[in-house]
């Protein structure tokens, strides 16, 4: 599994670099997003990937890889927004944003390690289409939880779904780097 950890860290570093460059360009404008807006941002990206997969054609230059990177980063935004008190304000420093980002990456990595242990890295045999569908399903779950005022009876909460979305996107990116997708 050390190979997986190296691949995972490489993919996350690429996503983190983009996230922090965009933070320098735009600041933390994403702080104004309400929960449903974050879900919709991820949905747009996942839906585009699915459309390209189904049509076997794309007309604009942004790659599927860049869309998975965006999905991963929006999942981080969703996780940060769930944890961060609204009273903190919308304008975070790059240093504070980096700390928040890294906290969420650690959560996702810990979950990935646990699931890889129990599932035996089953994701390595999955298709890119499956990752896309799983992300879309997780988004529908989050929408339903939001419609239920954030409450669940027996299911995991919004954060667990964002963590899974994060890891599905990371897995898709790893397999793309391997040339499998």
Domain count, the chain: 1
For residues 93 and 118, what is the distance between their CA atoms, to the nearest angstrom? 38
The tokens describing 80, both together, are 């940060």
For residues 162 and 23, what is the distance between their CA atoms, to the nearest angstrom? 20
The 10s digit of each residue's pLDDT in 10-30 is: 999 999 999 999 999 999 999
Spans of the chain, pLDDT less than 70: 1
**What is the domain extent for residue 37?**
2-177
For residues 153 and 151, what is the distance between their CA atoms, to the nearest angstrom? 7
The 10s digit of each residue's pLDDT in 62-80 is: 999 999 999 999 999 999 9
């Amino acid at each position: 599994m050390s190979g997986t950890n190296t691949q995972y860290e490489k993919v996350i570093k690429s996503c983190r670099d983009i996230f922090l460059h965009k933070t320098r360009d735009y600041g933390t404008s994403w702080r104004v997003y309400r929960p449903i807006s974050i879900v919709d941002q991820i949905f747009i990206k996942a839906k585009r990937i699915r459309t390209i997969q189904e049509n076997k054609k794309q007309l604009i230059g942004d790659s599927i890889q860049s869309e998975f990177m965006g999905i991963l980063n929006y999942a981080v935004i969703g996780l940060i927004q769930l944890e961060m008190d609204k009273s903190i304000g919308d304008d975070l420093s790059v240093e504070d944003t980096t700390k928040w980002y890294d906290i969420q990456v650690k959560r996702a990595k810990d979950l990935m390690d646990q699931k890889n242990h129990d599932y035996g890295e089953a994701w390595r045999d999955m298709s890119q289409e499956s990752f896309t569908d799983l992300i879309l399903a997780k988004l529908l779950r989050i929408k339903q939880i939001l419609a239920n005022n954030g409450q669940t009876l027996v299911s995991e909460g919004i954060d667990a779904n964002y963590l899974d979305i994060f890891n599905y996107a990371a897995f898709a990116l790893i397999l793309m780097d391997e040339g499998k997708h």
